[in-house]
Amino acid sequence: MAAVLVGDDTNLLVLLLHHAGHQNRKIFFAPEPKKNSKSRIWDMGEIQRRLGSYVCRQLLFTHAMLGCDTTSRLHGIGKALLLKKIRSSTTLQQSAQVFECTTSSKEDIATAGERVLVELYGFKKNRHIGPTQT
């Protein structure tokens, strides 16, 4: 049995890529048909195999950190760069685990998010960001 999801939202694609491997059925994604464009149907299982399980597991984290649109990115850092950096950074890997854990508190998630931004932008420890205290 197979299922096809038709839509144009990047959120749908990210969710499918993250969760589709947990199903025993084929799942396909088909963007809304547009005039004068070729129709495509994506096999989520095949895309997952090509991206690898590690990347698919990190998609929700990168999506949360860098925005939900394919063209949006936080001050010049896109999802591809974050996925590349997360492979070599234990700080980013640990922070991603906090986001994935269902028992993480709001404070844990906020702290992990701050660590990610510091890691991505290379801020030095004890560097003050924001208005100065007087």
Domain shared by 120 and 60, yes or no: yes
Location of structure tokens 């690898």:
52
Domain shared by 109 and 43, yes or no: no
One-letter amino acid for residue 99 of the chain = F
CA 98/CA 103 separation, integer angstroms:
9
Q: Give the CA angle between residues 98, 99, 103 to the nearest 5°.
A: 65
Kindly state the percentage of the chain with pLDDT values over 70: 80
Q: Where are the alpha helices (DSSP H) in 20-89?
A: 44-51, 53-66, 79-86
What contacts 96, CB < 8 A, 6 or more positions away?
A: 58, 61, 86
One-letter amino acid for residue 65 of the chain = M
Domain shared by 58 and 42, yes or no: no
Structural domain that includes position 113: 53-134
Q: Give which of 92, 91, 35 is closest to 61, Cα–Cα.
A: 92
Give me the pLDDT at residue 4, please: 87
Identify the helix (H) or strand (E) that includes residue 4. strand 2-6
Per-residue model confidence as pLDDT tens digits over 88-98: 888 888 888 89
The last residue of one of the domains, among 51, 70, 87, is 51
Give me the pLDDT at residue 123, please: 65
Domain shared by 58 and 98, yes or no: yes
Domain shared by 30 and 67, yes or no: no
Encoded tokens for 102: 């269902």
Domain shared by 4 and 36, yes or no: yes
Give me the pLDDT at residue 103, please: 93
Per-residue model confidence as pLDDT tens digits over 113-124: 888 888 887 765
Kindly report whether the global pTM for this prediction surpasses the value 0.75: no
The last residue of one of the domains, among 11, 35, 51, is 51
Domain shared by 84 and 131, yes or no: yes
* pLDDT < 70 regions, the chain: 21-23, 67-76, 123-134
Give me the pLDDT at residue 64, please: 76
Domain shared by 47 and 78, yes or no: no
Mode of pairing for the β-strands spanning 26-30 and 42-43 = antiparallel
Name the domain count of the chain. 2
